[in-house]
Structures are given as C-alpha cells and as structure tokens.
Amino acid sequence: MSEAKIIDGKQIAASVRADVAAEVARLQKEHGLKPGLAVVLVGEDPASKVYVANKAKQTVEVGMNSWEHRLPAETSEADVLAVVDKLNNDPACHGILVQLPLPKHINAEKVLNSINPDKDVDGFHPVNVGRLWVGERALVPCTPTGSVILAKSVLPSLSGLDAVVIGRSNIVGKPVAALLLRENCSVTIAHSRTKNIEDVVKRADLVVAAVGIPEMVKASWIKPGATIIDVGINRVPSENGKTKLVGDVAYEECAKVAGAITPVPGGVGPMTIACLLRNAAQAAAMIAGVKSAF
Ligand code: NDP
C-alpha cells in the first residue's frame, strides 16, 4: 500500500510567520501601526518558561513589539488581574496572553475572562467563542486554526467532506469543530462516551485527533485516503530507556492507509505559535479599525 503524504508543519508554520511579517510591515508602512503582544507568566513552570521564551523570540522576529510580565508564583489573583487591566488599557498592546497553567490559588477562568476580548489572542474568552460559533469575526484559538491550515494545505476545499474531531475540549476539539463547520464540512465530534468510535472515525474523509491518549487511533479506524491531523502530544518511554513524543494516532500504521498525515513532532505543534502571531497582527488591525490580511 502506498504511504501517505507527510504534512510538514514546520515548513507551513514558517510560511505563516512570513505572511505575518509581511502583514506587520504593511500595517507599519500604511498605518504607522506596530502590533504588540504581551505574555503574562506566573510562577516557575519550566515548560511554560521555555514556551514563553519561544513566543517572545518569534514575536520579535516578525517585527512586533513583545513584552513579558514574569510574576512570582505567590503573586495574588488581584495582582494578576491588575496586570491584565493595565495591558487592557495600554494602547501599544494589541494582544494579551496569560500562560497556563496558573498557580492553584488563582482562578484561571476569572483571569482569562478579564482580558479585553479584542486583545484575547488565545481566543478563549466566551465573547470570542460566541463570535466563532455565530460566524462573526473572532480571534480563534491558535492550535485549532493551525490544524485547519494544515488540512487545507492538502485539501484546498474542505466543503462537503465528512470530518470527525476526536475530543471536545474548549481549547482544541470544540473550536476545531466550529472551524470545520465554517469550512462546510459535515462535522461529528467524538469523545469518551462515543459508541463504536472506530466505526465513527472510519466514515471520515478528515480526522482531527485531540485526545491525549498515545497512539489511540489505529490504521483499522481510517478510511483509505483520509487526511489525518494529529493534535496529540504525549511523552512516552522509548526503546533506548529515554522518552519520546508521540501523537494520538498510531503514525506508522496509519500512514500506510491515510492519504495525508501530520507527524508528531513537526506537525500541529509548530503551528500554534505561528497562529498566535497571526492573531496578534489581526487584533492590532481590528483594534485600529483598518483592513486585516487575516
Ligand atoms: P483534554 O484532556 O482537555 O480533552 C481530551 C478530550 O479527549 C476530551 O474531550 C475527552 O472526552 C476525549 N477523550 C478522552 N478519552 C477518550 C477516548 N477513549 N475516546 C475518545 N475520546 C476521548 O485535552 P486537550 O484538548 O487539551 O488536548 C488534547 C491533546 O492535544 C493532548 O495530547 C495535548 O497535549 C494536545 N495539545 C496539543 C497542542 C499543540 O500545540 N499541538 C495544544 C493543545 C493540546 P470527554 O470530554 O468525554 O472527557
């Protein structure tokens, strides 16, 4: 059987970043507008620190202003809310991202809901969720946007396709489903209570897996020629006694049946920050009331 086309997330993310850089240059030239993105990090979570440093580096590389607000783990909820409030009222700042997870004594929902929806570059605020579902212009969560860009890189039109999204979280599954519906797919959302999930997935022309269970989706679940977008990032023991990253899809066997597939790592992962930068450029244009490329 022939092997699936491998969807190169690194390369596609680089091209999204190049588009953002071009948009940032245009906004500056035509409107004197320099988009700015602020990241708020509370505490010392090592993975979050690496992620925030990467975001800051890439933000500067596309020509935007970048600010990092690093607060100690013991910072009170009121003080975090005060930082968000200051950024909400700062005209130079167009995007605010509060890095999750927050320390346990801080109510994450309260903090996220305090972000001005027009600066909510993560797209988690209920106003943006509502805008997405009613079809208004919204800031859309980054990983779902990246997943759909990857699908469209091999399927220029998604219209009429049967899509199955496995997972219904607010940060991945539900927004992916909303975006695919907007692309005129017939969308099924599968989750932990779905009956005969193999049969449900087997109907799909497009499968998006966002579960968090290593290699759950098997080749026998896949319709020959289907496109697979694997959002999962799971660290598992590897043969050499160390660990490795795998997705929610059994990559080797599924690649023999699918038409196209994203690898893990190197698939959806690199798209997330690229789409965050895209959202920041979009937010800046929207706040200024000028045309946006995105
Ligand atoms: P959540 O844990 O929030 O949601 C997982 C979803 O999977 C839930 O809706 C759950 O169903 C469903 N599920 C659990 N078990 C099963 C099962 N046996 N069969 C079918 N569905 C099941 O995870 P996230 O959405 O936050 O993340 C999903 C994956 O994506 C993770 O591996 C995460 O690391 C990765 N991720 C990757 C990102 C990236 O940048 N590439 C960004 C964000 C996440 P139910 O609702 O019924 O419990």
For residue 195, CA distances in Å to 59, 176, 199 come to 43, 21, 9
- Does residue 83 lie within any of the structural domains? yes
Query: Which residues are designated catalytic?
Result: 55, 99, 122
- Does residue 260 lie within any of the structural domains? yes
Is pLDDT of 250 > 80?
yes
The average confidence (pLDDT) of the chain is 97
Q: In what order do the strands lie in the sheet with 5-6?
A: 5-6, 260-261, 227-230, 206-209, 162-166, 186-190
**Ligand 1 geometric centre to CA of 60 (Å):** 31
Predicted complex ipTM: 0.99
Domain of residue 83: give its range: 31-116
Q: What is the pLDDT of residues 168-178, one digit of tens each?
A: 999 999 999 99
Question: Which of 83, 130, 131 is CA-nearest to residue 111?
Answer: 83
Q: Which of 51, 169, 236, 271 to mutate to test the pocket of ligand 1 (most atoms within 8 A of CB)?
A: 169
- Does residue 70 lie within any of the structural domains? yes
- Does residue 253 lie within any of the structural domains? yes
Q: Evaluate if pTM is beyond 0.95.
A: yes
Q: What is the pLDDT of residues 201-234, one digit of tens each?
A: 999 999 999 999 999 999 999 999 999 999 999 9
- Does residue 20 lie within any of the structural domains? no
- Does residue 78 lie within any of the structural domains? yes
